[in-house]
Chains A and B, each alone.
Chain A
Amino acid sequence: QTVVTQEPSLSVSPGGTVTLTCGLLSGSVSTSYYPSWYQQTPGQAPRTLIYNTNARSSGVPDRFSGSILGNKAALTITGAQADDESDYYCVLFMESDIWVFGGGTKLTVL
């Protein structure tokens, strides 16, 4: 069974930079997994931020960026703002039309 790992929680100061990661319990994440990232605030449906590793979804500010860092996918927020305080989820595409979400990262801006 594939397990996708994310930091359970992270914090960042307003204006600061934070990197969230998305890994595999067994193995390395590469672009072949088409990692994508989603932001969710309480009571709302998720919002697509990044797809295909580093492509920004329409309307997403450029302070959100995606990459591969080492053996993980990464979401970097540069110049964090108060309304970036949310839950963030990554998902990896496996073969045979299967997707696996990470457990999510709760980001606090303080």
Chain B
Amino acid sequence: QVQLVESGGGVVQPGGSLRLSCAASEFSFNRYGMQWVRQAPGKGLEWVSFIRSDGRTQSYADSVKGRFTISRDNSKNTLYLQMNNLRPEDTALYYCVRDGSKHCFDYWGQGALVIVSS
């Protein structure tokens, strides 16, 4: 069974940085694109970022472009999200998601909570 386990969440002050990790197992990580999706408390889902299987291409939502960087280490089966210059509106549960067939999000982790507050 595909497993995605996020870590690295926490409380950070505005302007601060945080790095999320997602450990993947039970599938061939290097064959799949990966995504980050977030959900602010009581709000809907928001797509954040995508990285292709070989790590060479990334894309970002306008709301995080220039502040967040997605990366991956296929030798460690791990996905990352480096978040810089964090804002209160970045407060959310961040889900690591596998990019499935035909551009869907097929497997989801349980999420890592990021709180940006002074």
Contact = CB atoms under 8 A, between A and B. Distances in A.
A48 B45 contact: no
Contacts of B108: 45-48
Interface in B44-90: 44-47, 50, 52, 57, 59, 61-62
Interface residues of B, number: 25
A101 B63 CA distance: 14
Interface in B9-59: 35, 37, 44-47, 50, 52, 57, 59
A90 B102 CA distance: 14
A80 interface: no
Main secondary structure of the interface of A (DSSP, over half): strand
Contacts of B103: 34, 36, 51-52, 93, 99
B95 A48 contact: no
A101 B44 contact: yes
Contact of A98 (B59, B95, B107): B59
5 nearest CB pairs, A to B? A51-B104, A52-B102, A93-B103, A97-B59, A36-B104
Given A46-B45, A97-B52, A103-B44, 18 more contacts: A36-B102, A45-B111, A46-B108, A47-B108, A48-B100, A48-B107, A52-B104, A55-B101, A57-B106, A87-B44, A98-B47, A98-B59, A98-B61, A99-B35, A99-B103, A101-B45, A104-B44, A104-B45
A97 B101 CA distance: 14
Interface centre among A1, A48, A55, A93 (most CB of B within 10 A): A48
Given A38-B45, A45-B109, A52 B59 contact: no
A91 B103 CA distance: 10
Nearest to B46: A101
A50 to B, nearest CB: 8
Given A51-B100, A52-B101, A96 B62 contact: no
Contact of A96 (B59, B107, B109): B59
